[in-house]
Structures are given as C-alpha cells and as structure tokens.
Chain A
Amino acid sequence: MSDNPRFFNRSELLGVLVLAVLLVVVLPLSVDIFRLNLVAKYLSYSFVAIGLVLCWGYAGILSLGQGVFFGIGGYCMAMFLKLEASSAANTKIQSTPGIPDFMDWNQITALPSFWQPFHSLAFAIVAIFVLPAIFAFIVGAAMFKRRVGGVYFAIITQAIAAILTILIVGQQGYTGGINGITDLRTLEGWDIRTDHAKLILYFVEVACLIACIFAALIIHHSKLGRILVAMREKEDRVRFSGYSVANFKIFAFCAAAVFAAIGGAMFTLQVGFMSPSFVGIVPSIEMVIYTAVGGRQSILGAVYGTLLVNAAKTSFSESFPQLWLLGLGSLFIAVVLAFPNGLAGIWRDHVQGQFERWSASRRARSGASKPRVADNVPAE
C-alpha cells in the first residue's frame, strides 16, 4: 500500500519493454519494408485503440465515431504535405499554379482561407493536437452536460462520423472529395516516399506510440483513472463524492480524440494519402473491434489486438475477399460472448498466473527473494 500507484508496476513496464523490442528490433529485422509499412499502417490504428481503452474500457463511454478524430489528425497532416507538394513550380501546368491539384480541377482559383495556415508544419502539428481536442470538447460538453450517455452517445458519434464523411465528399473542391488528399511527396523537403524514409517514419511512429502508451498509463494510474472506472460503475456515487462526472467524461473523450488524431497523422505520413474512407462509420466500428479483440481494459492488449486483427484482415482478404467482413463480424461477436476482456483477459487468466508462479519459484530458489510489496493496481 505504501508505494504510489503513479509508478507503473513491474509487469506493465515489462509489457511495454516487450512491445518495444518487438516493434523496434524483431519486426524491422524479420520482415521486408513492404510488410513493415503495413505494420506501420496497422500501428496508426492502434493509437485510436489506446484512446478507446481510456474512453470505452475505463470510462465506459462507447464512441462509434473515432474515425472522425483519426480523420482530423490525418487531414491536418495531409493538408500540410499537400501544400508543400503543390508549390508553384510543381503545379505550373494548372490554370492556377500553387494550389492543390484537386482545387484546380474544381475551378477554385485561390487557396481557401482555412488552408492558409497549413503552409506551416508547426501549425499543422499543433492543429493535430488542438483541433480534435476542441471538437471532442464541444461534442462532449453538449452531450455529457445534458447527461446523454450510453447507447445514445454511441449513436450520436456514429451520426457525426457519417455527417463528416458526407461533408468531405460533398465539398470536393476544398477537401479532395471521395479520393481524399493524394500525391503527397515531401516533408520539409524530405522525400517521404522512399523506403528509407518509410523506415525512419516507422521508428518515429513507434516512438510516438510508446509515448502515448505511457501517457495512457499515467492517466490510468492517476486518481483520475480510478475515477473513470468508478464512474463507469456508479456514476451517481461519483457525483455524490463531489466530482463533476460530465467534466471527467469530457476529458476521457478529448484524450481519446487526441490519441486518434496522432494515429491519423501517422497514417497519412506512412501511407501517403488521406481519404474519407478512414473517417466514416465502418472504419470507426472496426477500430472498436480492434479494441474489443485486444481487451478493452488493457492498453497493451489494444495494440496487439489492432496488429492481429489487421494482419488477419490483410491475409484473409487477399484469399477470401467476400468473406472477410463476415469473419470480422463473427470475430467481434465471439470475443464479446466468450472473452469479454479480449486477448488481454486470456493472457491474464491463463498465461500470466503460470508465468508468475514460475518466476516466483525461481526467485525462491535463488534465495534472493525479498518480501514483495503488494501491487495496488491489478495487473492488466
């Protein structure tokens, strides 16, 4: 009881270390750059999954619209890259040189004002963090202050995802429409399309992912994290312990939004384009499935869940393109029915216990066993 729960327990640190070794050492050495780029794409979804663990797993707020925030992050990055790719020299054959090609095709003759600040990388990076937080704050404040929750909140987020998709597709001249923003080339003069750049970006992404995992763990182990869990169970009791439940829900939703946006920005860098097909209802629900499969109460589980489901998606959809979606749906139902805590639950119930017994007996044999302080927080 004496140790502060802010300091992560050993099994979690070990878990992050294993994941880091897997991503930084094992995968780059064992797969080619094409496959590694696929892993990078999957990892960008795992940022969303980490956010969903906070928001859905801990706080009990199911958002079926995380694609919105993934899209906001992705589009912020894509707008910057597109402007850099649309220099006057690159676009001199257009009727209006210096604006993105899709604007020219849509008879737009000047860069719209909301595109202007995206000439600056610094602005784009700030926007990746701030825009989703502001948007999530507005949605969250509107819903949670009125005590809209549960299924109603899920439906509203889904509607927002649908609205944003329609808006992006409809405003083709400003957004690139259904094709999205494509043909991204350089980042401050550095060509991001080469294999070498993809490798570097992969490592940048892994670094961001580890940072996000630590941020999520800090939130989870703070008193705020325990209040989120308390709120999921007994919202009223939290109110009568003197907390504003709405504010805590807004925080969880905003945090999840920012994580998703970082993932979206990483996606754009890795894949080289951004389109509304990553914003709408279907991708948003798929992201919830990754989280459920990995274990919605486990930050690391969500990362593994995302990687595994996407790896399965890639290999199955190559062989059985028609059956894949049915498979994904069945997987979701099976996980919810049989393993409500997903992969992390299976790990905790069947593997971790044996591992701990094994390491305890080893420590006892080596004679160096110290009385171990009980962990305050149940291991994930």
Chain B
Amino acid sequence: MVIGSQPKDFLLAVEALTVSFDGFKAVNDLSFYVDEDEIRVIIGPNGAGKTTVLDLICGKTRATSGSIQFRGKELTKLRENEIVQAGVGRKFQNPSIYEDLTVFENLEISFPRGRTVFGALAFTRDAAVRERVEEVAEMVFLQDKLDMSADLLSHGQKQWLEIGMLLIQDPDLLMLDEPVAGMSVSERVKTAELLNRIIKGRSVLVIEHDMKFVEDIAHKVTVLHQGQVLAEGSMNAVKSNPKVIEVYLGH
C-alpha cells in the first residue's frame, strides 16, 4: 500500500473480500473501511454474511481472495492468535467462555500478558492483574461472582463475562456479534449502558438486529445483503433507502 494514496489512514480496510464455500459466495467482493474510534454497525437479513465477515476478519475463516488491512497489517495472512495480538478482539454470538474455570480465571486468561507457553508458565497473579480483573469485573456487573464457576452464571451474565474478557484484552478493534441477543429486558438495558461505556477510545464493529440499540450507538451503518454492501451511511440515510426497506427493514 502506497502511503498517501488514500485520503487518510483507516484502522480497518476491507477490500474486495470474497469467500466461497463450495462455490457459494457467502461474502462477495466486499469492501468497507472503518476509521479510528468509529462505531460501525452491520445489519442485514439472515444469511447476508454478517457473521462470516467477522469470522474472516478474526481469522476463523480464511478468505478466498481480497485483503483485510488492519493498521497496515494484512490480516488474511496471520493466524488467529496473531490477529488478536495485533489488536482485534471478537465476541461470539453464543457466549464463548470457559465453563470449567471461575469468573476470575476466565478474565485472567484474557489478560494480555504471558501469551507464550513459557510466559504462561512463569505468569504470576500480581497486583496489576488482580486490580485489572476486579476493575473489569465491576464494569460487567460480576464483581461479587469472581470465585464462582462460570457455568453457574445466567445466559446474560455469560454474555457480560465474554464482553469483560474482551475488555481486558483492550483491543483497538472490538467486534461484537449480537451482544444483546437472548437477553432479558433489564439485561438489555444494562448491556446497552455497558457497551456505551466500553466503546469509547476504540473502534467497534457490531452486528445487531435490535434497531433501537443500533440507532443509539451507530456512527455509521453498513447494510449487507447476499454477501455484498447494499447501502452504507448514517442510520437515517440507510433507513430511508428504498433498497434497504425492501430487503430488510420493511419486513
């Protein structure tokens, strides 16, 4: 990439990204750009390829062609753990936590230190780790559950724990896949408040169906349809776009 060929440096530049599963193009020639500190929401009907896009960025799925540049690094060539170390964090749709471990241990594992084999062997639970774990636990409303085994948490609490695990990683790009899905009304409210707090100072890529929630947080919305960008812009512009109304919002 030639410096200066673009008006400004994007945090994330997805260009001509394509992935094909046995001939079916789940993501087809997709391009979009995310700025520093931008909150971008991806919406679209089921099967539009939203989750696949996140899978491609975090390395879970390998791209067939195209490029994903993150701070000038080509993510399509990196392994999952290298992508995380580059500063990309991912929250999965279903809470993905370690149920055999306690809440504290779940958060501690995500603390970005001692990530090599021998680093992990020599890792000590010092004051910095404990303070950070307690701080994050408080943010995700789990401060009095630190010693509890994670499988005893409710569904909503598991979602919060996973968000906490991402926070402790302190990623520059946070990717959230339906963070309020399956939550009770009161949990939703708390989660929206939590997300509003944690998205400051970093870029966030969110997949969400809850339109009110999207309106609350989105700087810019990208609408995906059949693996391609159908529309992009502010929530109001997208909402009044006839194509979007037809395939998604109208229903």
Contact = CB atoms under 8 A, between A and B. Distances in A.
Given A224-B120, A236-B60, A236-B96, A243 B101 contact: no
A233 B112 CA distance: 20
B2 interface: no
Q: Which range holds the interface residue count of chain A?
A: 20 to 34
Most buried by A among B81, B123, B169: B81
A187 interface: no
Interface stretch (A1-9, A103-111, A194-202, A263-271): A1-9
B105 interface: yes
Contacts of A189: none
B105 to A, nearest CB: 5
Contacts of A244: 79, 81, 116
Nearest to A378: B149
Interface of A is mostly: helix
Nearest to B88: A240
Interface string B206-235: 000000000000000000000000000000
B147 A241 contact: no
B204 interface: no
Given A240-B80, A240-B84, A6 B124 contact: yes
A47 to B, nearest CB: 20
A233 B102 contact: no
A242 interface: yes
Contacts of A6: 124-125
A247 B116 contact: yes
A119 interface: no
Contacts of B147: 1, 374, 376
B58 interface: yes
A241 B102 contact: no
Interface in A221-239: 222-224, 226-227, 229-230, 232-234, 236-239
A229 B123 contact: no
A248 interface: yes
Given A240-B92, A242-B84, 5 more contacts: A232-B100, A236-B80, A239-B84, A240-B58, A248-B120
